[in-house]
Amino acid sequence: MKSAFYSRSEKGVASCGESAHAKKFLKLNFPTLRPHKRVQPIPPVQMSLLDKNVAFRQLLTLANVMEWRLITLKPGNLLDRSGMYVMGLRVLTRPAGRVVSTAVLLCMVATMGCRHFPKRRDPHVHKGGPPLVDNTNLVSPPTLGRPIYACSKGVEVKDFIPGARIDIFIQGNPTPIGGGVSQTSWGQPFDTSVTFDVGQVVYAVQTYEGAKSPPSNLVPVTSYTDDYPSGLPTPRITSIPLLECGRAIAFAGALPGAWVSVFSENPQAGGGFAAPVQIGGTDNAQPDSSYVFVDPAFVRGARISLLSGICTVTSAPSDTVIVQAAPPGKPPTPKMDKVYEGTQIVTVWGPGGNPHPLLNGATIDVFDNPMPGGNHVGGQPTPGGGQQVGIDPAAPASGNHYNATQKLCETSDPSSTVSVTPCRDVPAPIIRQPMPGDTEIDVTQYVPGARITVYVNNNEVGDGGPPAINMIDGSGNPRPLADGEVVTVVQRMGDCKSQWRYVITVGSTINGTTVPTSGDWPMFRNGTLRDGQQHRLTALGDPYTVRKLKVKWQFPPPGQHSVGGVTLRGFRASPMVHGGKVYLGNGNGFLYALDENSGALLWQYPPSGGQALTSQFVSNPSSYGIASSAAFASLDRGDLVIIGAPDQRVGKGLGSGRLIALRADTGAEFWLSPEIAVLDGLTPDSLTERHEQIGYSSPLVLSNRVYIGMADHGDNPIQNGRVAAVSLFDGSVEAGFNYHSTSTRGGGIWSSVAGASGQSVYITTGNAEDGNLGGAPAVNHSLSMLRLDGFTGNINWEIQPVPFSMDNDPDWASGVTLSASAGGDIALGTMKDGWAYAVKAHGGGLVWQFPPTGFPFHPGDGTDLLHGDTRYLIPGAAWNDVFFVTAAGASVTTDQTRGYNRVHALNVFASEQDRVRWVLEVPGTSPGMRYQLGPPTVTQGIVFVGTAQSHLIAVADPSVYPAADCGCSNPDVSVKDCLANGYKLVPKPIILLDLNLSDPGSILTEPVLADGRVFVATDGGTIYMLEPAP
Amino acid sequence: MRTHSQICIYVCVCAAAFSAGAQAQLSAGWTNQPGVKMRSGFSGTLSLKGREGEALVPVTVYRFSIWNRPAVANVKPLSTGLVLVQFQSGEAETVVGGTTNRSGPGDFLLLQRDSSAVFRAASETATFEALVLGGALAETKLPTSHTALSHPRVEKYQQVSGRPLKMQTLASRRVGDFSLEVQDLLVGPSQKTSTFVLPGASVLEIKSGKGVMRVDGHAQAIQGGTIITVKEGQQLELRNDKEDLGLSMHVTIIRSQ
């Protein structure tokens, strides 16, 4: 990580706070509150320990390597261990001698082992390039924070150009009601001259160098009781410990626009405490601005508490915190990040730099041209973590050097001096992969205080600041991106414009896989990535609209339980929505095509009176009929709907599985594959018959092929897991593709195959122990996540957390969720035992395990009995860099059932300590009971999930709507005990919707988010369409 | 992925044979039974303080997994100890003294000597742990031959200053002349406790984390999989060296009444 170059690896989740993260810029002369955002350090590069010879051989066998040169040699204690030295190698190519790669080898002399850190340049970063066409009249609209509550007198604005003028308006009134000059590097609170009333609509405008932006998003003023019907949450002090002489305090739990007051009860000589005295506060708390200064400073032994309120309502007081003695002696010497030319913000950390925290409450002072004799150019108290500090004047091109101190009761030694990095070395900003339909660009790394300009096909379409830049066209309307367009981003501070650009093509980064560009939902999990995300901006991305969702139609209509005289069973397949139609298979063996607007039946397959697609071997709901969700495919000859199902017309007529392609408009057969999953007998536990089935596996349509996974009928007996591929054109088996999980039995593919173009397919596999009593099969890919070559079925990589010897049936049944994330492409999944994993999608290395109990497992590690038939079966959803998943969580080793009714939001690119973003105990569900939740889906940070009680729940990630309250990163530890026991406070997301469908069945399928509507199928045999009420 | 039991497995909890000599034989025998595995064992001694002085109680921990598949060869029931079974994963159906119970993760079953218990997996597999208490406890008579116990799964860990976080997994209950309870203890990431004493002689099974346990000042490295017995009244301290994971342990506590 470049020292002053910040990563916003998560989309700004409002933290319930701890002090180990960077705080946003604050000037001493600025009003009380400033943003308080967590800024995650980039995880260290995965290192591979290589034998020295291997490392050298690898380097020298690079294509066209002409020579390598030793460019540095530094013996000594670089890694604080003697006997290590550093070699830098420059690898040159033939014939041009062009540098293609640099690498650093840290070699341990004693063993001659080497650690190889390939230093790869980001392929999206370029210096210079085609001319970029600026539009000096274009300024992006800022983003107005939501919600805005009645009685409040302030708002939060984001996405502005630092230094721009911000004006706040009430719709219908051309006179601004508040505003000011933006100064921070994220969001900023602005006070208003009026108190808001319910029903008003508020927006913001920014003006920069004479150019005025279009209006921001419109935010209606609502009552806080809409979100907090049971009263105000209790504020919490989060910068624990509070230290003597400290002058800042962080908090959580205050509503946007609420007032917060800090009280101190100083200790009395004879014991007890003096009356409380207010020592700090704000009238406009905002989620990204959750700390205030205090004056006078904290006194040792004082009892500190908070109150918050809005309208005439006051919260309960916070828990009190006793001020601790300051550490003896001088505070540790801080460290500054790089200072870039033109910047007005510098960042200071504790000793050693990022991510080491400053002391809670310390006052940070920044000087130019080092002390003594240096000039004080900025400073402020910090609640802890890293601190951005405004400096005045801005860093010049050259000549200045900066250092910083931190002060509690004493002042630290000044930090090492940092000279100004010239403009030519200002890096490119880095953005999240833009997707078709996006109208904003998310900036994930940037220099604090930078202005970000966005170009599409080299023409400027956005000019704003982090965390997102709203793109507009020449008329000021939102400017959606189209697949294949090229986005270029630069950043600037003052007159310095980065010469480095970030250039990226719109679309998925996973080998160029495109995602659906309409609002449809064309296959299970809405795409080959199986990420369960609706990427398109629809009405479901608006928290206010989500609250208005109502059932518009249901199929079959109320009171009916059959179609054409055939009774419906439960729906285990999820709906597929495309082109105005809804396609859904039922456990009764029929596929139904419905009109999306009305729910009217358009056609069914097999037609009325036809042989239902069922099996004569029934073990569990996966084998009753159609459990496989349909997939859409488009050919020149027409649009197709493809399903996998048992079919008694093939094989021995018992219900072998096959793929069936139907015309989307009529339901007529387009092709029928041959027998794919063989069922050639009905004898339970027969070892001479084949009992394969397709079950829940949904077809994957990828590059003119259709892939399907196969498992068995409830391990009765267990079959050899397989993946089959057929031609998309005629359903014939692609003979060149071959994958079997084992050399005997086991490794069933219970879930849908995921895929990425470039012909990579991803699977997870079930257990093998059940079919191999004599020991592990010679070939054993059971209990694994694998990437296969889509042409051959050959294994590209595999991870197997649970060895055969510990196999008590923890099938990996969730399948793979692929995420094109800021830190790389990741394959995610949960095993049945409740552990979740993130794996590099391309290379296959483990990125993390959650919880990180140890990988791989081994006998005697305390988990011997834990890899059994626990029921974490469903896939998760991915959005930005967050994985939403039902997993066992922190208590996996003591009570694996704890996670059955919880949705975990896991930060994909964060330290282990910051893995948990939030945990939701879904209301109305039964703790400890299996099958409580269906697979979650997500759009624009709003997560939808169905429950066993037939409720549809929607919750907002705290980055898109304020949290309901604070929780603990270990949800089995109370908030009160959380911090003191080494865990972290995390937000509890607010529930936007808890809609009881009053269905007799559970919702075990995914809520499909298509065209601004939600489609939910239940185990009771009904599908519901919900859309926002007017 | 089987969810419907069609054929059951019969397994007996065979306490009397859990002496060191028989353990290997039993272990090997059971391990070879199709559909039944005994994963690992532990043998030690608990020192209980009673009215008549210190009593030594042999304690053995066995871990079993059973599969939902055709019946296995009969296992001779040998039961001469008090057995505390805790179910870990999957669903199990137990038949003890003619009474059938269904148990899931976290549930307990207490069996007195000579109980012939039959376990069958009601899901694809079921795993459970059997803690066998011999010596003075072996002869303990229960009101009935067995007691099925379950615990609520909604409570959170409780904190007493300086002690590890505690969750009462099985409330203290009288068993003959003794009381028995089970706690889950948790020391958060990078945390350590003050000195504390458990309310009886205890078997501590470390489930996750890595760190140091001091028993009357003597340090011992611990990590997931470690099993330790401590005497009643011994002073304990715990330190979790993991920065990103709790040090969790399952503690069975026994004391004289």
Of A852, A895, A980, the CB nearest to B106: A895
Closest-CA distance, B64 to chain A, in angstroms, reads: 7
Q: How much is the pLDDT for B83?
A: 87
Q: Averaged over A627-638, what is the pLDDT?
A: 94
pLDDT in tens, A703-714: 899 999 999 988
Confidence label for A635 from pLDDT (cuts 50, 70 and 90): very high
Q: Residue A893 is nearest to which of B154, B167, B248, comparing CB atoms?
A: B248
The per-residue pLDDT for A14 is 46
Tokens for A764?
């997870």
pTM for the model: 0.85
From the list A773, A976, A983, which residue is nearest B189 (CB)? A983
Chain B touched by A159 (CB under 8 Å): no
3-state secondary structure of A761: strand
Q: Do A808 and B65 count as a contact with CB atoms less than 8 A apart? A: yes
Instruction: Give the model's confidence band at A171: pLDDT under 50 very low, under 70 low, under 90 confident, else very high.
Output: very high
Cβ–Cβ contact B105 with A under 8 A? yes
Residues of chain A contacting residue B27, judged by C-beta atoms under 8 Å apart = none
Residue-wise pLDDT for A727-753, tens only, equals 999 999 999 999 999 999 999 999 999
Q: How far apart are CA B215 and CA A406, in angstroms?
A: 42
Q: For residues A118 and A50, give the distance between their C-alpha atoms in angstroms, rounded to a whole number.
A: 12
pLDDT at A508: 60
Four-residue CA torsion sign, A692, A693, A699, A700: negative
Residue after which a domain boundary falls, among B148, B172, B200: B148
Tell me the pLDDT of chain B averaged across its residues.
Answer: 78
CATH assignment at residue B196 = 2.60.120.10
CB A380 within 8 A of CB A387: yes
Phi, psi at A575, each rounded to 5°: -70, 155
pLDDT band per the 50, 70, 90 thresholds, residue A4: very low
Burial class (CB in 10 A: 0-12, 13-18, 19+), A682: middle
CA of A70, closest CA in chain B: separation in Å? 38
Closest Cβ opposite residue A982 in set B70, B154, B189: B189
Output Rg (C-alpha) for chain A, integer angstroms.
Answer: 30
Which chain B residue shows the shortest CA-CA distance from A711? B1
Residue where a domain stops, chosen among B114, B148, B182: B148
Tokens at residue A695, please? 């079950």
Measured between beta carbons, the chain B residues lying within 8 angstroms of A852 are 244-245
Residues 6+ positions from A29 with CB-CB distance below 8 Å: none
Over residues A283-306, the mean pLDDT reads 91
Give the integer Cα–Cα distance in Å for A370 and B224: 51
Check residue A822 and give its pLDDT.
Answer: 66
Domain membership flag for residue B126? yes
Q: Is A898 on the interface with B (CB under 8 A)?
A: yes
Say whether both B127 and B19 belong to one domain: yes
Q: What is the DSSP letter of A226?
A: H
Residue type (1 letter), A664: A
Give yes or no: residues B114 and B201 share one domain.
no
B15 and B111 inside one domain: yes
Q: Is B41 on the interface with A (CB under 8 A)?
A: no
For residue A543, the SS3 value is helix
> Average of pLDDT values for A485-512?
85
- pLDDT over 70 for what percent of chain A? 86
Average pLDDT over residues A758-775: 89
Q: Per residue in A545-576, pLDDT tens?
A: 999 999 999 999 999 999 999 999 999 999 99
For residue A114, what is the DSSP state? E
3-class SS of residue A227: helix
Determine whether the interchain pair A868/B245 forms a contact, defined as Cβ–Cβ distance below 8 Å. no
Q: Calculate how close chain A gets to B120, using CA atoms only, in Å.
A: 14
Which of the two residues, B174 and A204, has the higher pLDDT score? A204
Q: Do A983 and B188 touch (CB under 8 A)?
A: yes
A335-358 per-position pLDDT tens digit:
999 999 999 999 999 999 988 999
CA-wise closest residue to A415 among A330, A335, A331 = A335
Strands A705-712 and A23-26: unpaired
Indicate the residue of A862, A928, A980 with minimum beta-carbon distance to B153.
A928
| B161 backbone dihedrals φ, ψ, rounded to 5° | -50, 130
3-state SS of chain B? Answer: CCCCCCCCCCECCCCCCCCHHHHHHHHHHHHCCCCEEEEEEEEEEEEEEECCEEEEEEEEEEEEEEECCCCCCCCCCCCCCEEEEEEEEEEEEEEECCEEEEECCCCEEEECCCCCEEEEEEEEEEEEEEEEECHHHCCCCCCCCEEEECCCCCCCEECCCCCCEEEEEEEEEEECCEEEEEEEEEECCCCECCCEECCCEEEEEEEECEEEEEECCEEEEEECCCEEEECCCCEEEEEECCCCCCEEEEEEEEEEC
CA distance A943 to A568: 29
At residue A399, the pLDDT reads 78
Residue A586: closest CA among A596, A600, A572, A576: A572
| In a domain? residue B153 | no
Instruction: Place B67 in a pLDDT band, splitting at 50, 70 and 90.
Output: confident
Tell me which H or E stretch contains A314.
strand A313-314
pLDDT at A253: 87
Which structural domain, as residue segments, surrounds residue B123? 6-148
Shortest alpha-carbon distance between residue A15 and chain B (Å): 18
- Give Cβ neighbours of residue A209 (< 8 Å, ≥ 6 apart): A136
Q: Is the pLDDT of residue B28 over 90?
A: no
User: Measured between CB atoms, does A833 come within 8 Å of chain B?
Assistant: yes
Adjacent-strand bridge partners of A504: A487
pLDDT tens digits for A208-233?
999 999 999 999 999 999 999 989 99
Nearest-Cα residue of chain B relative to residue A978: B188
Query: How many domains are contained in chain B?
Result: 2
Q: Position of tokens 């300024």?
A: A139
Judged against a pLDDT cut of 80, whether residue A844 lies above it is answered with yes
> Using the beta-carbon criterion (under 8 Å), do A868 and B90 form an inter-chain contact?
yes
Residue B105 in domain: yes
One-letter amino acid of A436: P
Residues B201 and B84 in one domain: no
- Is B107's Cβ below 8 Å from some Cβ in A? no
Give one DSSP letter per residue of A767-833, joined into a string. --GGG-TTS--SSB-TT-EEEEETTT--EEEEE-SS-GGG-SS----S--EEEEETTEEEEEEE-TT
Residues B27 and B70 reside in one and the same domain? yes
Distance CA A440, CA A486 (A): 14
Closest Cβ opposite residue A715 in set B1, B105, B246: B1
B5 — pLDDT class (breaks 50, 70, 90)? very low
In this prediction, residues B24-44 reach a mean pLDDT of 56
- Of B70, B124, B208, Cβ closest to residue A893: B208
CB A109 within 8 A of CB A84: yes
Residue by residue, DSSP assigns A397-443 as: SSS-EEEEEEESSSBPPPPPPEEEEPGGGPPPPEEPPP-TT--EEEE
B123, B148, B173 - which closes a domain: B148
Nearest to A1014 by CA among A546, A632, A586, A527: A546
Interchain pair B105, A870: CB under 8 A: yes
Q: Is residue B115 part of a domain?
A: yes
**Domain presence at residue B1:** no
Contact between residue A519 and residue A534 where contact means Cβ atoms under 8 Å apart: yes
Q: Which B residues, 12 through 31, put their C-beta within 8 Å of a C-beta on chain A? A: none
Where are the extended beta strands (E) located within A94-193? 99-108, 113-119, 125-127, 143-144, 148-149, 154-158, 165-170, 178-181, 188-191
B31 lies in some domain: yes
What is the residue-averaged pLDDT of chain A? 86
Q: Which residue in B89, B123, B156, B192 has the most chain A C-beta atoms within 10 A of its own C-beta, making it the best mutation to test that interface? A: B89
Phi, psi torsion values for A540, nearest 5 degrees: -75, -10
Q: Which two three-digit tokens encode residue A627?
A: 């459990």
Band of residue A826 on the pLDDT scale cut at 50, 70, 90: very high
Q: Are B53 and B127 in the same domain?
A: yes
Residues of chain B contacting residue A923, judged by C-beta atoms under 8 Å apart: none
Do B174 and B230 fall into the same domain?
yes
| Segment A459-482, tens digit of pLDDT | 999 999 999 999 999 999 999 998
Contact B243 A972 (CB under 8 A): no
Give which of A772, A871, A894 to mutate to test B binding, by max B Cβ within 10 Å. A894
**Selected residues 205-244 of chain B with any CB under 8 Å from a CB in chain A:** 205-208, 223-226, 240, 243-244
Which residue among A808, A809, A912 sits closest to B244, beta carbon to beta carbon? A912
Confidence category of residue B154, pLDDT binned at 50, 70, 90: low
Residues of B in contact with A809 (CB under 8 A): 67, 90, 124-125
Of A684, A865, A890, the CB nearest to B6: A684
Residue A772's pLDDT band, with cuts at 50, 70 and 90, is: confident
If you average pLDDT over residues A677-697, what whole number do you get?
95
For residue B161, which residues of chain A lie inside 8 Å, CB to CB? Answer: none
CB contacts of B167 in chain A (<8 Å) are: 894, 972
| Arithmetic mean of pLDDT, A323-333 | 96
B86 reaches A (C-beta below 8 A):
no
The pLDDT assigned to A541 comes to 92
A9 with A41: CB under 8 angstroms? Answer: no
Q: Does A680 touch chain B (CB under 8 A)?
A: no
**Cβ pair B3:A912 closer than 8 A:** no
Contact at 8 Å (CB) between A406 and A414? no
Question: In the structure, what pLDDT confidence band is assigned to residue A81 with cuts at 50, 70 and 90?
Answer: very low
Do B162 and B38 share a structural domain? no
Give me the residue from B2, B88, B244 closest to A716, CB to CB: B2
pLDDT at A544: 93
Q: Do B224 and A870 touch (CB under 8 A)?
A: no
Tell me whether residue B135 is in a domain: yes
Give the Cα separation of A656 and A693 in Å (integer).
7
Task: Determine the pLDDT at residue A799.
Answer: 98
Nearest to B39 among A864, A869, A928 (CB): A864
Among A620, A870, A913, the residue with its CB nearest the CB of B4 is A620
Query: Cβ neighbours of residue A871 under 8 Å, at least 6 residues apart?
Result: A832, A900, A930, A931
Confidence class for position A180, pLDDT limits 50, 70, 90: very high
Contact state of B208 with A685 under an 8 Å Cβ cutoff:
no
Q: Which of A16, A234, A190 has its CA nearest to residue A967?
A: A16
Q: Check whether residue B242 and residue B196 sit in a common domain.
A: yes
- Same domain assignment for residues B137 and B190: no
Beta bridge partners of A885: A904
Give the pLDDT confidence score for residue A156 in this predicted structure.
94
* Subunit contact B157:A868, Cβ cutoff 8 A: no
Whether A830 shows a pLDDT value over 70: the answer reads yes
Q: What is the pLDDT of residue A104?
A: 35
Answer with the residue of higher pLDDT: B145 or A246: A246
Residue A128's pLDDT is 86
**How far lies B25's CA from each of A78, B78, B129, in Å?**
55, 13, 18
Q: Please say if the pLDDT value at position A12 is more than 50.
A: no
What distance in Å separates the CA atoms of residue A308 and residue A27, rounded to the nearest whole number?
A: 24
| Higher local confidence (pLDDT), B173 or A176 | A176
Q: Which tokens sit at A728?
A: 């998309």
Collapse the DSSP code of A296 into the 3-class scheme (helix H, G, I; strand E, B; otherwise coil) and give the result. coil
**Is the domain of B40 the same as that of B106?**
yes
pLDDT score of A94 more than 80:
no
Alpha carbon distance B160, A100 (integer Å): 60
Q: Do the Cβ atoms of A974 and B154 come within 8 Å?
A: no
* Average pLDDT of span A2-31: 35
pLDDT-wise least confident of A768-772, B25-29, B104-108, B182-186:
B25-29
Neighboring chain A residues of B245 at a CB cutoff of 8 Å: 851-853, 912
Cβ distance B159 to A980 less than 8 Å, yes or no, reads yes
List B255's β-bridge partners, or say none. B179
Residues of chain A found within 8 Å of residue B7, distances taken between Cβ atoms:
684-685
DSSP labels for A971-1007?
TTB-HHHHGGGT--EEEEPEEEEEEE---SS---SPP
Q: Chain A partners of B104 at a C-beta cutoff of 8 Å?
A: 897, 928
Question: Quick one: closest CA in A to B206, which residue?
Answer: A862
What ipTM describes this predicted complex?
0.88
Residue A872 has pLDDT above 60, yes or no: yes
Q: Residue-wise over A729-738: b if at least 16 C-beta within 10 A, else e? A: eebeebeebe
Clarify whether residues B10 and B126 are in a common domain. yes
Cα-based distances in Å from A268 to A263, A297, A322, A324, A542: 16, 17, 13, 16, 52
Between A909 and A663, residue with greater pLDDT:
A663
Of A376, A369, A352, A361, the C-alpha closest to A419 is A369
- Judged against a pLDDT cut of 80, whether residue B115 lies above it is answered with no
- pLDDT for B32 equals 44
In chain A, residues with a C-beta closer than 8 Å to the C-beta of B4 are 619-620, 714
